[in-house]
Amino acid sequence: MTRQLSLQALLLALLSAVLFSGVAAVSTQELNVTPKLLSALRHFRLEPKFPDAGIYHAPSEAVRITAAAHLNELLDRLVAAIAAHPTKAFVLSEFRRTLTKFDSADSEERDQLLAYLERIMDIVGVESSDGLLNNWRYGFDPAAKP
C-alpha cells in the first residue's frame, strides 16, 4: 500500500512538472508596459475580490479574505516588477505562484480566480496562457495536439 502511494505521488509530481515546466520557454512575448497599464493594475488592486455576486458565494468570509489576499499579492508583484520584466513569461510565472495557493480551493474559488487572471491578461496584453490555466483547472490543454 505504501509503495502504491509513493508511486502515485511520484506520478503526480512528474505530471505537474510536465504541465507547468514548459510555459516560460514558449512564452517569449514582449509586453508594452505603460503608465496606463500600471494604473489599470493598481485600480484593479483596489477593487473588491471574490464578493458574493450572481451564482458565486464564498463559503465563508475567511475564505473570501484569503482568496482576495492571494490575488492582491499577485497584483502587487506585477505592479512592482512588470516594468523590469515586461514579458509574457514573467506574467505566467507569477500566475503559477498564485495558482499553487488555490490548489486545494473549491471549484467556485478556482473559477473566480481564472476570471480574474483573464482580466489581468487583458490588462497587460497577454492573449493566451499557453495552456497554463486549462492545465491547472482541468488537467489538460484543449489546444495541445495529441
Confidence of residue 6 (pLDDT cuts 50, 70, 90): very low
Mean pLDDT of 23-38: 81
pLDDT digits 0-9 by tens, 45-96? 999 999 988 888 888 999 999 999 999 999 999 999 999 999 999 999 999 9
Mean pLDDT of 16-42: 74
Q: Which residues pair with 43 in a beta bridge?
A: none
pLDDT at residue 27 in the model? 64
Q: Which residues pair with 53 in a beta bridge?
A: 56
Q: Does a structural domain hold residue 63?
A: yes
- Predicted model pTM: 0.79
**Structural domain that includes position 132:** 2-138
Domain count, the chain: 1
Q: Does a structural domain hold residue 26?
A: yes
CATH code: domain of residue 56: 1.20.1480.40
Q: Does a structural domain hold residue 74?
A: yes
d(CA 107, CA 57): 11
Which one is predicted more confidently, 28 or 110? 110
Q: Does a structural domain hold residue 144?
A: no
**For residues 84 and 76, is the Cβ–Cβ distance under 8 A?**
no
Q: Does a structural domain hold residue 117?
A: yes
Q: Does a structural domain hold residue 65?
A: yes
> Which helix (H) or strand (E) element contains residue 112?
helix 107-124
